[in-house]
Chain A
């Protein structure tokens, strides 16, 4: 037996992927297959799933209901997409300068700065999002601080009505995913050979042009990786929107959660999650193709 393993490289490979394979099959492939099957089903009056084949759930999500056109779910899908795009763009704009700053710091200081970026992750994510409730609500830290400043300057102050709102959800998302953008961008910036900056300067490029022609293209793998790490979780989130949106901001994640738990309509929830999955896959594939993730990573 052991002799066989020693001689057979194929067998070795199979054995090595076996544990991961087991986890993937039991925790991903099987549940996903069940979800797909369920999404084509119906529910009876008690909320039990009837396994048939109907596209009704999908039609309903896309706006074609028995009562005529209703874009309620389509709007939820688009809202999730829009929020994910907004979050990703803002996170890139905020993470890039910081990652750049860390990458250009003296080597000894870099680890300390990266450590600071990671410190917030030591606290549970739900607790951190609740902290934002304390900051953003009408008598929260933000409004009382602004009010105190306005009082000192003797100007009228109208408390900001940030919580609960879609803006609050956006702020929470940006806060949550900033480290996941900083780290990959930092990694790709740090790998850029300093002599390349000098070469660009030597070839008549000023700092601005060096940035756009050398720094940005070479840090693209980091931006792409960070975008995937941000976009995919954000588009499916339900916790942040629940807490900071105060049940007013309904995203696909909330829709799926409620169909399974409150509305007791698993087939409809399953269809919504499949649509979310397909949407994410299509966007990720398009994005990585467009910006050539594979090639850039291979080129190192």
Chain B
């Protein structure tokens, strides 16, 4: 029964807006999050990811639909009776309590025995490498340390699910990278399901077992980092995760899971079609820049010609901007295997850009 740690079933959330209108923050979202999984809710601000997390925590109640935690429907259960704990974006450490008191708070509220509290607080602080900080106040700690206290304060209660609301948002880049690995290590150590909200696609790709990409209150696609990057199911997901090229055209010919797409300027190319398309339909083809090549390669079926508009050398790669005959612009990323690699083309030169059928995906929405 309880194979999912958390399940959202057709969940909607509507808020009264500032002008009296109804704002729908979450639209018919259904998610299944497995036990022990590191799951990310990824999307731009206002996409409904934080609202979804807050509904799991119980700070907001769904307008429609139901949330299950290990198979138990949550209904109107208040936050303090839910078997989950939250790490807040602002950490929300109690400023009037010491670090030890902060971490002990949840256990005290649960009525855990004093000796046991002491033991578990010490253990939790050791886990986040803050032993010996018990007597300090939150203000005396750095941002990264406060972040770890917030983690310890949540994990010490051994929740069934840990909810993290952009927990690394306030840290600088270097510390964020460190904490990403630290979080991943902690999650493996404690084996608790982590649900993680972020707007940073790189962070989501680095840390998560699976990702739900959200936009406008809708969960557009759920899958592993690889699935979402390689097989985006819509234009938004392809664009949001990593860099990509879009080429607009019309379906000219269909061959099982492939189709020939005609672009303006007399260009035509073959692309993989995961969804059903019909001849004459207007579609978008997406091709990742690193899957396009200026370097000759016999296996690549698709060949489009254009003029190099700009060249950016960034060390590991060289990026070429190419304007195609039909006026559409693409970016090509060539890896620099050797010191001369960047001499593949010059600005203004006519080039032939090649890519495989598999690299090109037809998107219908």
Q: Are B90 and A204 in contact (CB under 8 A)?
A: no
Q: B92 touches which one: A196, A205, A217 (CB < 8 A)?
A: A196
Q: Can you report 21 A-B residue pairs in the complex whose CB atoms are below 8 A from each other? A: A193-B90, A193-B92, A195-B88, A195-B90, A195-B92, A198-B57, A198-B92, A199-B93, A201-B80, A202-B79, A202-B86, A203-B157, A204-B81, A204-B110, A206-B80, A217-B96, A218-B95, A220-B96, A296-B96, A299-B95, A300-B95
**Inside 8 A of B58's CB, which chain A residues have their CB?**
201
* A203→B109 contact, CB < 8 A: yes
Interface residues on B, range: 20 to 34
Known A-B contacts A193-B92, A217-B96; the reply to A199 vs B86 at CB < 8 A is: yes
Assess the A205–B96 pair: CB atoms within 8 A.
no
Q: How close is B100's CB to chain A, nearest CB, in angstroms?
A: 14
Docked CA distance A195–B166 (Å):
14
Complex: chain B residue closest to A213, CB-CB: B105
CB contacts under 8 Å to B, within A244-300, are: 296, 299-300
**Chain B hits for A117, CB < 8 A:** none
Extra contacts besides A199-B94, A201-B59, A206-B78 (20): CB < 8 Å? A195-B92, A196-B92, A196-B94, A198-B86, A200-B94, A200-B105, A201-B58, A201-B78, A202-B80, A203-B106, A203-B109, A204-B81, A204-B157, A205-B80, A209-B109, A217-B96, A218-B96, A220-B96, A296-B96, A299-B96
Known contacts A195-B90, A296-B96; is A202 also within 8 Å of B137 by CB?
no
| A218 vs chain B, min Cβ distance (A) | 6
B153 adjacent to chain A (CB < 8 Å): yes
* Chain B: minimal CB distance from A288 (Å): 16
Bound Cα distance A201, B81 (Å): 9
Q: Is A141 an interface residue when CB atoms closer than 8 A count as contact?
A: no
| B109–A199 touching, CB < 8 Å | no
Taken together as a complex, chains A and B put the C-alpha atoms of A220 and B97 apart, in Å, by 13
Q: Is A214 interfacial (CB-CB < 8 Å)?
A: yes
Chain B residues with Cβ below 8 Å from A206 are: 78, 80
CB-defined contacts of B105 to chain A, threshold 8 Å: 200, 203, 205, 213
Q: In the complex, which of the residues B81, B105, B157 has the most CB atoms of chain A within 10 Å of its own CB atom?
A: B105
What separation, in Å, do the CA atoms of A205 and B106 have in the docked complex?
8
- For B82, the closest partner residue in chain A by CB is A202
Residue in contact with B59 in the complex, picked from A198, A203, A205, CB distance below 8 Å? A198
Smallest CB gap from A214: residue in B? B94
Contact between B85 and A202, CB atoms less than 8 A apart = yes
Complexed CA–CA distance, A200 and B79 (Å): 9
Within 8 A of B (CB), among A204-249: 204-206, 209, 213-214, 217-218, 220
Q: A205 to B80, alpha carbons, bound, how many Å?
A: 6
